Structure 1
Amino acid sequence: MLDNKSNKIVGVKQSVKLLKSLQNYANLKIYVANDAEIGVIKPLVELAKCKQLEVNYVATMKELGQLCEIDVGAAAALILE
């Protein structure tokens, strides 16, 4: 699912920053952990909604971290395919 390291952004702040700078969203997927604190993921989810992008939810931060091949949990990730 999340197999190309060079096209992966992990973390809410980094994801928001990249999402604001992109002009083309055609090959972009947004992943958010269901168990992440609402206040943490809210800026990313609202920006995605504003840009009419689908947000894909993953059960836990731990699972999203594993999918991103990192040793800690992740609240959010962007994947450019």
Structure 2
Amino acid sequence: MSLEPLKSARKRTVGAKQTIKAVEKSQAKEVYWASDAEARVVDPILRICSSKNIPTVKVESMKDLGRACNIEVGCAIAAITEY
């Protein structure tokens, strides 16, 4: 799956804390998660996404996801809140 929508999003969350808040408030339009992230970090958020019918996109690595979010470190999970 392409990371272009995340790269070009007007607003996004980066990291578990920001993303879980956006998901719980139903502000997240789409959630991206890294396949090499720790399950204890991403699984609870993915369960909420499933219950709220928020689409999720699996990304190859935390490094790729971090790069797409314009940060210099890896990122476990991120979300688009405004396209």
For residue 54 of structure 1, report the CA deviation from its aligned partner: 1.7
Q: Which runs of 5+ in 2 are unaligned?
A: none
1:3 aligns with 2:8: yes
Runs of 4 or more, structure 1, over 6 Å off, are none
1:51 matches 2:52: yes
Matched with 2:18 is 14
Equivalent residue for 2:40?
A: 39
Q: Aligned partner of 2:34: which letter?
A: A
> Does residue 71 of structure 2 align to residue 66 of structure 1?
no
RMSD: 1.5
Number of residue pairs aligned between Structure 1 and Structure 2: 77
Among the aligned pairs, what percent are the same residue? 32
Q: Structure 2 length normalisation: TM-score?
A: 0.84
1:52 offset after TM fit, Å? Answer: 1.6
